[in-house]
Every structure is written in C-alpha cells, then in structure tokens.
Amino acid sequence: MTLELTADDQSMLRGEQGPSAGAAMNILVAFSNAVGAGSLLDITSAHIDGCLYHGKAGLDFVERLVEGGGRVQVPTTLNVGSFDLIHPGMVKMPAAEEVPARRLMKAHRELGCQATFTCAPYQTRFRPEFGQQIAWGESNAIVFANSVIGARTNRYGDFIDLCCAMTGRAPAWGLHLSENRRGRILFELDVADPEPSDGLFVGVGLIIGQASNDRIPVIAGLPQPRDEDQLKALGAAAATTGAVALFHAVGITPEAGTIEEAFHGHAQEETIRVTKTDIDHALARLSTVPDGAPLAAVSLGTPHFSHQEWMRLLPLLRDVAPGKGIPIYVNTGRATLTRLRDEGALDGMEAFGLIPVADTCTYVTSILERLDGVVMTNSGKWAHYAPGNIGVSVAFADMRDCIRSAAVGHVVRGAS
C-alpha cells in the first residue's frame, strides 16, 4: 500500500518546516509504511512515554529535536519521569544518573510539552473526548483512553509518540479506524457481586490480559463500577499482563451498549467463562507472601491516584489511624497534588505515615526506604512489576486492608 501524504506532510518531510519537524516526519513515514498505513490523520493530543531515563540514546534523541528548534504541534502531556521534582529529597539516585534523568524531563518541556509527569493524563485538563484521534504512549493511559473515554489511539512506544506530537499526525491504521475496534473474544463473568471490590476489577483485568493475546476483549456481566477508577484498575492490569489496548464492557463502556454493538454484529471467535474462583486465583498470584508477614511499607497509586481515590483514602487514614511507623507512599499526579494542597486536604496527614510521591512511581524510582521487607499495594500493576524492578516482596489487597495492615504492622486481609 502506498502512503498518501498531503502537501503539508510533504513540506514537513522535505525539512521546509525545520529540521526537527523533518526528522520526525521521516520517522513517522517509515513507521507508517512498516505498519501498512495508507495515509496520516490529524491528532488532537499526544502523551509521551519517553521521560523515564533508560540511557543516553533516549536523551540524545530528544536533545537533537530541541537543538533543531522543534516544537510539538498539539497539546502534549508527559508521562512519569525518573525523578520526583517536587520532592527531590526522597529520591536515592547517584548524581551520574540524576543529571541526565532531570535533563530528559527538562528537554521534553523545551519542546513545548506540558509538565504533567503523570501516567494518568486523563485526570488532567488535557483529557480527550469521545471519538478524538490521539497519539498516546503508556499502556494504562492507552487502554483507558480507548475503552473508558472512547478516544482513539494505538499503543505508541517511545519516539513514535513524540514524532506524532511533533507533526500533529498519526498513521491511519489499527485502533484509529472503526473497523479495527470491534470485539473478538467474549469473557462471560459469573461473579454476582452487588458491591464489587477494587480487587475484582483488577482480577478481571489480569485474566483478560493473559487470555486475549492480540484480540479485543468484550466483557459481559461486569458489575457496574463504583467509579471510573475501578475501570482504570481493570485496564491497567489487562495492559500489564497482556497487550490489551481496548476492552469493551457491555452496558458500561461507550462503544458497548450491547454485545452486538461491541462485536459490530459479528460472532465472537471464542468465549471464556470467568468465575469468582478464577478471579481469586488470579489475585492470589500477585502476592509473594502470606497473611501475617511483617510489613515494611504500603504503596498506592499505580496508575496515579485520582482526587476521588484520595477522598476515599484520607477518611480511612483518620478512621484506622495507622501508627506503627509504616510509611504509606501514594503515587499521584502533580496537578492532583496541587489541588489537594490548595484544599488543605493533606494538612496533618503525615502523622499517619502518609508520603505523597509525584512525577514518578515507586516501582521505577528508588524512593522506598526499605526494600528488605514486604510492601503492600492495591495496584495490580505495581504488584506485577515491583518484584522484578526493585526486588521487593509484595502483598496485594484492597486499599482498606492495606491501611489496616499499616496500623498493625503486618499483612492482614479480609477477615484475617
């Protein structure tokens, strides 16, 4: 298939709009040809997943664009970096790593990107709308935008997401196109839970991520979520254990009013029945320690804690009043943190061991004081990645049990 370019695309490709725009368009054209796109389409926003410092190549790429006078062409948010710029004293990082990590975050801002530094850009004022074409990186943000909002993006990785932002264009392929957004595999839930826990949504996400492969999953029988944070948790888990970029929850997500709508009138390729026992087994595999294990820390907010989640956490802290010296780290976006501080919501909360973390996440940056004990989390994504990333033992549970455990100093779950 021959890639059709507009006159403006061709002008950019020739470098007539600056060397950085030209470089970005050249890369985007090569990528589009590789995936078989027939044309490019306009995007309304981008989200860049390249702020985490992984080595000199990533920094060199962004700095080259800066040197060429490059600027993003659409509102562009930034994913987490390797450093908490708001609480720099918490980060344990050698100067040789800190300097390039800070520089990478700064270089993206010099391209005109917004200093959001959050994995949940949908919680900011840059949240897209239904049907908008966007180019987002970061797995949980992608699945949330496609599924919960109904915006349209593929899973864009480092550099391609930035090239889309620099040109304001994306290849017309994959999930940008309606015909590629239909469901392929059906998950029938048999859970009968009128007040579903956060863990149930995490468990469903883990299962569909592992079983869907490259097929778009449709979920029938999912209980009505309390809020979109439960859908956020489902999507993050599905994108962690698999390659899910879009799921349809019948009667809940915007492109799945009915099963027929979710499958675009086609028959499903496979049906998988999911019981409460299946979900319990999936969740059990997230924990590497049993109940009763001594606790070193709690880590919440992966993806970043929303304001609504904070409003559930803060009364819980006051009610349970943890006082065993167990730190409770909460990863959140700087915009959410600013709002909380303006509201006075965090006043005095450090007495309960609360430690807000912004701009990064505790499973990618060295922030936790102790790595030799058990860390408890309500995040399926954190529980999945942290043992390999930072070498900790993990206990997964709902938020209430995490705080109850911090109060007694060891892991407690449910009625234990």
d(CA 102, CA 93): 11
Among the candidates 127, 160, 178, a domain finishes at 178
Alpha helices for 194-293 (secondary structure H): 198-212, 228-241, 259-262, 276-284
Amino acid at 237: A
In terms of domains, do 24 and 134 share one?
Answer: yes
> Is residue 413 assigned to a domain?
no
Q: Tokens representing 408? A: 């007694």
In terms of domains, do 280 and 312 share one?
Answer: no
In terms of domains, do 171 and 38 share one?
Answer: yes
d(CA 409, CA 323): 9
Q: Which domain does 273 fall in, by range?
A: 182-284
> Is residue 46 assigned to a domain?
yes
In terms of domains, do 137 and 189 share one?
Answer: no
In terms of domains, do 31 and 162 share one?
Answer: yes
**β-strands 169-171, 40-42: how paired?**
antiparallel
In terms of domains, do 20 and 102 share one?
Answer: yes
Q: Name 351's Cβ contacts closer than 8 Å, sequence gap at least 6.
A: none
Q: Name 155's Cβ contacts closer than 8 Å, sequence gap at least 6.
A: 137, 139, 142, 243, 245
**β-strands 76-78, 45-48: how paired?**
parallel
Output the pLDDT for position 370: 83
CB 101 within 8 A of CB 53: yes
Give 3-state DSSP helix, strand, coil % of the chain, rounded to 5.
40, 15, 40
For the entire predicted model, the pTM comes to 0.97
270: left (phi over 0), alpha (psi -120 to 50) or beta: beta
Q: Name 406's Cβ contacts closer than 8 Å, sequence gap at least 6.
A: 295, 298, 320, 322, 324, 326, 328, 353, 376
> Is residue 290 assigned to a domain?
no
**β-strands 270-275, 295-305: how paired?**
unpaired
Positions of the chain with pLDDT under 50? 416
> Is residue 88 assigned to a domain?
yes
In terms of domains, do 313 and 266 share one?
Answer: no
CATH of residue 79's domain is 3.30.499
**Beta pairing partners, 357:** 331
- ∠225-228-229 over CA atoms, to 5°? 100
Amino acid at 399: M
In terms of domains, do 226 and 267 share one?
Answer: yes
Q: How many domains does the chain have?
A: 3
> Is residue 139 assigned to a domain?
yes
d(CA 320, CA 403): 7
CB 174 within 8 A of CB 136: no
Output the pLDDT for position 415: 59
Output the pLDDT for position 196: 87
On the question of a cis peptide bond just before residue 100, with omega within 30 degrees of 0, the verdict is no
d(CA 233, CA 379): 7
In terms of domains, do 19 and 157 share one?
Answer: yes
In terms of domains, do 335 and 308 share one?
Answer: yes
